[in-house]
Amino acid sequence: MNGDSLRVTLGRVGRRLREDAKTRNGKLFLAGATLSLLAPAILTSYALEIFMQLFIVVLLVGSWIFIAGYFGIFTFAHAALYGVGAYAAVLLAGELGVPPLLTIFVGGLAAVVFCLPIAYPVLRLQGAYVGMVTLAYAEIIYRGTIIFRDVTGGPTGYSGFPALFGGDRLVMYYFVLVTVAAFMLLQYGLLVNRFGLVARAIRESEDAAQMLGNNVSRYKLTGFVIGSGIAGIAGALQAYTILIMSPPVLELTQMIEIMAMGIIGGPRTLGGAVFGGLAVFGLAEVLRGLGEIRLIIWGAMLVIVTLYFPDGIAESTLNLKSRLKELVDR
Amino acid sequence: MVSGSLVAQQVVNGLLFGGQLALIAVGLTLIWGVARVLNFAHGALFMIGGYVGFFGLQWTGNLVVAIVLATVVVFVVGWLIESVFVEPLRGREEFDIASMVITLGLAIFVENTLLVGLGSQRRTFPQLLDAVWNVGGITISAQRLLIFLISVTALGALFAVIFYTKLGLAVRAVSQDSDTALLMGVRPERVYAFTFGGSAALAGLAGVLLAPLYTIYPSVGWSPFLLAFIVVMVGGLGSVRGTLVAALALAVIRSITTIWVASETAMVVLFVIMVAVLVVAPDGIGGWLEA
């Protein structure tokens, strides 16, 4: 990409940002971002921790939507790659003494490396088959963390790694906020440009996209690798936020959680990650005392959203009249 | 060096286990083959079968009644899942993914509702038979043999229905081309509901039959589901014959690998086999068997 096309690309991102800022969701996101910047002045340190985790969840779900929602690659390996990023980061920092800040990006690279073995079948297969093969791969990685317990600390977890920024949680907060915002913007920038158009074309019809002269495999591979790498970065951030890393982070339940957030929030748009994160993770925090009841609610939400709001919260209006009309027309 | 008799023992164990696995996996492959639903609630149906059998046994005191009750109740549950939750999704562009998500949502909902309502404790189910035979140095538990025989009978009954009845003809017609079947006077939504019910009934039957081995608790279905999932992928989604062969083969592979490695690693071996098969032949071994 030369200087001119880069300028065109960035110009388009700026234009789309200004346009999107005027929509309902755009206004909500702007308000949310402003609040997040000011949050440390208002909130308790416990609430800040929750906010940090929420940001990370948004990035994680956003990168899943990037792959699953835009390309139609319904991957189940996302939680596993998120875990790989987390383990890579903390093990490098804890065992080899690599500076923690650097390990976050190494975590992303590790997730990229680990997504490559499954990339070939993911490019070849379609629809539910992609889900199956990635589910199997995720289970292999998950069981691997238990089998190699000498390295990963096994089920009890691994916590012997240094904190980021010497344990200063305020700096950590802004670091998480800025990193998440930067990677969300990166994905946004890609999606409003040609890359995103091709991605959606692939989702709608792979053959048609190929016929129009797009190298479908290369686009799919790029999308899968970028999304998986971002999951690894989210994992590394998460490990430094919660200060312990254990296998349940990459278990199937975690994947179901990511999926639930993506689908409930809105799998067709990056903004769905924010709504899904808030709805599911926020609710989980509010209902923390209720234990399994929140899982009942998630299960029910997955069913209801799939049946009645296939585009998730982000793209549903609360216009009751039109909703009722739709329901009657069905 | 591993002795021959140990390997023989593991092969026998594997074959018996393969029968159980086939019972769970055939239901999973059937509903994909006919209705294109990858049913993530299959494990939950297995679990429901266990609970219905458990309470049925408590109320009636009769084991046979409990087993029949579990099968019938889970058949009805499957029928309802199809007609209430899956049917409205038909016609959507991404039906295979939407149906996968909705059955997953149902599984989580049911599992956690039971967890809250009945608690997480493992309920034990009485052994069906206690005898253990020793044939030429190989021990065979009568119970496992009985489960194997019931599984084979149930699968045989299923085959008979599919290949020799009018209903089975309708099922095969819909699985090949639902539009043409509709023109011939077959109502696809009924066939889907019946197939989902039948597939669920197999899971429910497996749930109660295996309850003495697995015990009964809300998340009991996930491990058999994952195993059946591998079997179905290797056998070829929708191919009943491939699934049967894959169930026996993978069960034997699994029990032989556990001679040397932990069961955790054996699972990894199975998953690797599954990914390899999907890469080489996305339609599984069923494609070769039926060609």
Q: d(Cα A82, Cα A61) in Å, to the nearest integer?
A: 11
What residues in A contact B107, CB-CB < 8 Å?
A: 299
User: A326: pLDDT confidence band, cut at 50, 70 and 90?
Assistant: low
CA of B253 to nearest chain A CA: how many angstroms apart? 17
Residues B271, A144: C-beta atoms closer than 8 Å: no
pLDDT at A58: 93
CA of A197 to nearest chain B CA: how many angstroms apart? 19
Residue of B nearest to A305 (CA): B102
The answer to whether the CB of A58 falls within 8 A of the CB of A280 is no
Q: Which two tokens stand for residue B72?
A: 């019938």
Looking at per-residue confidence, does B287 or B60 come out higher? B60
pLDDT at A178: 92
Residues A133, B226: C-beta atoms closer than 8 Å: no
Residue of A nearest to B226 (CA): A136
The answer to whether the CB of B261 falls within 8 A of the CB of B32 is no
List the single best residue of A302, A305, A326, A329 to mutate versus B (max B Cβ within 10 A): A302
CA of A132 to nearest chain B CA: how many angstroms apart? 8
pLDDT at A323: 59
Q: Which range among A221-235, A240-254, A293-307, B58-72 shows the weakest confidence by mean pLDDT? A: A240-254
Residue of A nearest to B93 (CA): A204
Is some CB atom of chain B closer than 8 A to the CB atom of A11? no
pLDDT at B75: 96
What residues in B contact A133, CB-CB < 8 Å?
A: 233, 274-275, 278-279
CA of B235 to nearest chain A CA: how many angstroms apart? 13
Written in H, E and C, the secondary structure of A172-202 is: HHHHHHHHHHHHHHHHHHHHHCHHHHHHHHH
Phi-psi region of B140 (alpha: psi -120 to 50; beta: other; left: phi over 0): beta
Interacting residues of A170 by C-beta distance below 8 A, sequence separation 6+? A40, A48
What residues in A contact B226, CB-CB < 8 Å?
A: 139
Write the residue in A135, A147, A298 that is nearest to B264 by C-beta: A147
Is some CB atom of chain A closer than 8 A to the CB atom of B31? no
Is some CB atom of chain A closer than 8 A to the CB atom of B278? yes
CA of B115 to nearest chain A CA: how many angstroms apart? 7
Is some CB atom of chain B closer than 8 A to the CB atom of A287? no
What residues in A contact B116, CB-CB < 8 Å?
A: 291-293, 296
DSSP state of A148: T
Inform me whether the pLDDT recorded for B289 exceeds 70. no
pLDDT at A324: 61
What residues in B contact A310, CB-CB < 8 Å?
A: 92, 98
Written in H, E and C, the secondary structure of chain B is: CCCHHHHHHHHHHHHHHHHHHHHHHHHHHHHHHHHCCCCCCHHHHHHHHHHHHHHHHHHHCCHHHHHHHHHHHHHHHHHHHHHHHHHHHCCCCCHHHHHHHHHHHHHHHHHHHHHHHHCCCCECCCCCCCCEEEECCEEEEHHHHHHHHHHHHHHHHHHHHHHHCHHHHHHHHHHHCHHHHHHCCCCHHHHHHHHHHHHHHHHHHHHHHCHHHHCECCCCCHHHHHHHHHHHHHHCCCCHHHHHHHHHHHHHHHHHHHHHCCHHHHHHHHHHHHHHHHHHCCCCCHHHHHC
Q: Which range among A105-109, A192-196, B55-59 shows the weakest confidence by mean pLDDT? A: A192-196
Is some CB atom of chain A closer than 8 A to the CB atom of B85? yes
What residues in B contact A144, CB-CB < 8 Å?
A: 268
Residues A293, B278: C-beta atoms closer than 8 Å: no
pLDDT at A329: 58
Which residues in chain A (67-106) have CB-CB distances under 8 A to chain B?
Answer: 72, 74
CA of A292 to nearest chain B CA: how many angstroms apart? 6
Is some CB atom of chain B closer than 8 A to the CB atom of A245? no
User: A194: pLDDT confidence band, cut at 50, 70 and 90?
Assistant: confident
CA of B145 to nearest chain A CA: how many angstroms apart? 30
Q: Which range among A183-192, B36-45, B161-170, B281-290 shows the weakest confidence by mean pLDDT? A: B281-290
Looking at per-residue confidence, does A48 or A157 come out higher? A48
**Whole-complex ipTM:** 0.84
What residues in A contact B41, CB-CB < 8 Å?
A: none
Is some CB atom of chain B closer than 8 A to the CB atom of A129? yes
The arithmetic mean of pLDDT across residues A239-247, rounded, is 84
The arithmetic mean of pLDDT across residues A228-240, rounded, is 93
Is some CB atom of chain B closer than 8 A to the CB atom of A290? no
User: A281: pLDDT confidence band, cut at 50, 70 and 90?
Assistant: confident
User: A179: pLDDT confidence band, cut at 50, 70 and 90?
Assistant: very high
Looking at per-residue confidence, does B80 or B213 come out higher? B80
The arithmetic mean of pLDDT across residues B190-201, rounded, is 92
Inform me whether the pLDDT recorded for A224 exceeds 90. yes
Kindly report, residue by residue over A115-144, the tens digit of the pLDDT.
Answer: 999 998 888 887 778 888 898 899 889 888
User: A320: pLDDT confidence band, cut at 50, 70 and 90?
Assistant: low
pLDDT at B127: 81
Inform me whether the pLDDT recorded for B1 exceeds 60. no
Interacting residues of B203 by C-beta distance below 8 A, sequence separation 6+? B24, B27, B28, B42, B43, B45, B46, B49, B74, B78
DSSP state of A324: H
SS3 A116: helix
Inform me whether the pLDDT recorded for B188 exceeds 60. yes
Please state, in angstroms and as integers, the Cα–Cα distance from residue A32 to each residue in A27, A39, A54, A194, A203, following that order: 9, 10, 12, 28, 30
Write the residue in B92, B106, B233 that is nearest to A303 by C-beta: B106
Residues B279, A301: C-beta atoms closer than 8 Å: no
Looking at per-residue confidence, does A246 or A315 come out higher? A246
What residues in A contact B42, CB-CB < 8 Å?
A: none
pLDDT at A289: 67
Inform me whether the pLDDT recorded for A18 exceeds 90. no
Is some CB atom of chain A closer than 8 A to the CB atom of B264? yes
Residues B98, A306: C-beta atoms closer than 8 Å: yes
Residues A143, B89: C-beta atoms closer than 8 Å: no
CA of B102 to nearest chain A CA: how many angstroms apart? 5
Inform me whether the pLDDT recorded for A111 exceeds 90. yes
Which residues in chain A (179-198) have CB-CB distances under 8 A to chain B?
Answer: none
Is some CB atom of chain B closer than 8 A to the CB atom of A330? yes
Inform me whether the pLDDT recorded for A322 exceeds 70. no
pLDDT at B278: 82
